[in-house]
Amino acid sequence: MKIEGIPGPGAHIYTIMARGRRNLDRIIAKEIASNVQRGRILDVGTGPGFIPIEIAKMNPDLEVVGIDISPTMVKLARKNAREAGVENVRFDVMSAYELKFPEEHFDMLISFGALHHFTNLLGVFNEAYRVLKPGGEAWIYDMVRDVPIKDLKEFLRKTGLPKFPWLIGFKLHGLKREQWLGEVSKFVEQSRFEEYRLEDNTVYMKLVLRKSGQ
């Protein structure tokens, strides 16, 4: 059974681990921030909130919202935002299957490392479509669990991440490559999105979903 939300003690442990992943978080945040200069970004499954915090720091003209089903994670994310001194980011407890936002509210939707937790991928994709503005994109990142160990070691070296705990962490999280190409792609094709592509970064995948429009 998939655990959709990380409970209290686990949330604290994960946050400690995630602090050692900040180099990668900054790389992802920079890529996202360069895509949207103004408007609203929603981060689904935000965890301790490090990526939206980095985005908010990079561009004060953006309004960044992070949601997570775990109350403990949201509490930690709010604490991290206060410590970072950013005011254009906020965090709320919310399910990815029932986003409490109006239609066409966000310019971009993002998610990093949460896809493998979701039990209803079609529900996640359709809610993402609903809250995105026409022409908006969802960028959904997650790990490739069965990546060859030599490729993972090289990735950790290039990104400056410590082998412990991430050599183990990345192998235990994410989806197998066949799941990305099969299960994930199948549900995307069943969703309301008209356009999508998978970008293979060896250690992680980036799923780009585009809502047609302007």
Single pTM value for the model: 0.93
pLDDT, tens digit (0-9, with 9 covering 90-100), for 54-80: 999 999 999 999 999 999 999 999 999
* CB 188 within 8 Å of CB 211: no
Where do we find the tokens 């029932």? 98
pLDDT, tens digit (0-9, with 9 covering 90-100), for 106-151: 999 999 999 999 999 999 999 999 999 999 999 999 999 999 999 9
Question: How many residues are recorded in the chain?
Answer: 214
Q: Tell me how far apart the alpha carbons of residues 121 and 126 are, in angstroms, rounded to a whole number.
A: 9
Is the Cα dihedral 95, 101, 104, 110 positive or negative?
Answer: negative
CATH class given for the domain over 8-210: alpha beta
